[in-house]
Amino acid sequence: MNAPAAYLKRMEERLPDFAAYAACLSLPPYKGIRVNTLKISAEEFAGISPFSLSPVPWEASGYYIAEEKPGRSAYHDAGLFYVQEPSAMCAAPLLDVRPGERVLDLCAAPGGKGTQLAQAMRGQGILVLNEKIPARAKILLQNVERMGIVNAVVTCADPETIAERFEGYFDKVLVDAPCSGEGMLRKEEEAAANWSPENVAMCAARQKKLLYSAARTVRAGGQLVYSTCTFAEEEDEENAAGFLARHPEFTLMEQKKIYPHREKGEGHFAALFVREGESRCRLRPGKERAERQALSAFSAFADAFLKERPAGRAISFGESLCAVPEDLFSLDGLRVLRAGLALGSVRGGRFEPAHALALAAPGYFREKADYTQEEISCYLHGEEMPCMLRGWCAVSVDGFPVGLGKAVGGVLKNHYPKGLRR
C-alpha cells in the first residue's frame, strides 16, 4: 500500500509506536462477516459455514474470515450474514439497543451498522435508517430486505430535516459519519489517493454538523454514538470534545479507538454520549391505512400461502402494501423508500408478493422450494426450476429463503428481482 508521504509523517508525529503501524501497512487487511441472528444463531452458522471462522472480540456474532469473496456464497443471498470490516462492528454495541426502542442510524448506507442495530431489536420497536444520497439509499434498502428486517423505515433525507422532524424522539442514535477514511488505507486504494490535510479538515467540519443534527433527535436519558473509520484527532477526539463543549446536556460515557497494529481491525473510533435534562417530542403516531382492495387481496393470499401474517399495521405505500409498527409516525412530508415490511401489491386483480416478504425474518411462507448450493445458482441467475409444489412459495437454499417462486405444472416460475440476478 502506497500511503501518502504527508500522511505517514503526520502519523509518525502522533503515534509513539509508529514503527509498528508502518510495518502493518504492508500486511493484508482484516476481513470479517457478521452472522444475522434474526435468521440463524452464531453457533448454528458456525456449523454450516463455508468459511473458517475466528471470533471478533467486541461483537458476539462477528467473525474474522480469510475468504476473499464471501458474497459469492448463496448464504449471503439468503441474508445469513453481512460482510463487514471487523473494527466497524465495535460502534453499534456501545448503544446497547433493546427490543421495543426507537432507534436512528443517521448515515446508514450501505447498512452494516444499521442491520447490526436491527439484530438487537429483534423486530420490535422502530428503526429509522437514513441516507442522504439516493443511490446509496437504494443499496441500503436492498441490504435491509436481504437481512429480513421488518421494523425499519428507510429514508432519504438531509440530516437537518431528520433533526427537525424527530426532535427528542429517539432512545438511541448512531452517527457513523463520512470521514477521511484513514482506517481504509490498507483496504481501498481510493482512500489513500484521496487523503489530504484539506480533506481531513473538510470532513471534520461536516461531521460537526451531523453531530449537532443528531443531538436534537435524542430524548432525555437517551444515548448517542459517534463513530468514524479514521485516526485523525480532528475528526475523532477533537470533534467529541467540541460536541461536549457545545452540548453540556450530554456526558461522555465511553470512547474507543482501534488501530490495526494494536488490535485485529483496520481502524475505528467510537464515542458514547448520554443525554441528561429535558427534551420535547411532538411527533405522534401516523394514521395511514391500507386500501380496502389491497387488504382484501392480501388476506386471500395469506390464507392460501402463509403460515402466519406479519405483525403490525397494514398501510398502503405507493402501489405496495406494507406492514409497519403499530405506533409508527406519520410518513407525510418525509422522503421514504420503504416503511416496515413490503408485503406486495395487487396486479391484475390478484395479490403478488414482494421479494422482501420471502426474506423476512422469521419466515412466513407455508411452503419452501428447497435446493442445494449447486442448484440454487440457476435460480439466482433467473432460470426456471423443477418443482412439484403448487402456487407461491419461498425459494430456499438448504432451508434458508433467498427469494420467491410460483410453481405451476412442475415448473417454478422465477420471481427473483432482475436487478439482483448474477
For the annotated catalytic residues, the residue numbers are 229
Cell of residue 268, nine digits: 475505528
Bond into 362 cis (ω within 30): yes
Rounded to whole angstroms, the Cα distance separating 124 from 116 reads 14
Half-sphere exposure at residue 70, Cβ-oriented, CA atoms within 13 angstroms? 25
Nearest to 338 by CA among 158, 142, 160, 165: 142
Cell of 15: 503515534
Quick one: residue 224, left, alpha or beta (phi over 0 = left, psi -120 to 50 = alpha)? beta
Peptide bond into 110 cis (omega under 30): yes
**Is residue 228 within 8 Å of residue 268, measured between CB atoms?**
yes
Distances, alpha carbon 143 to alpha carbons 51, 138, 284, in Å = 21, 9, 28
Helical segments of 96-179, H only: 112-121, 134-146, 159-165
CA-to-CA dists, residue 264 to 31, 87, 89, angstroms = 10, 7, 12
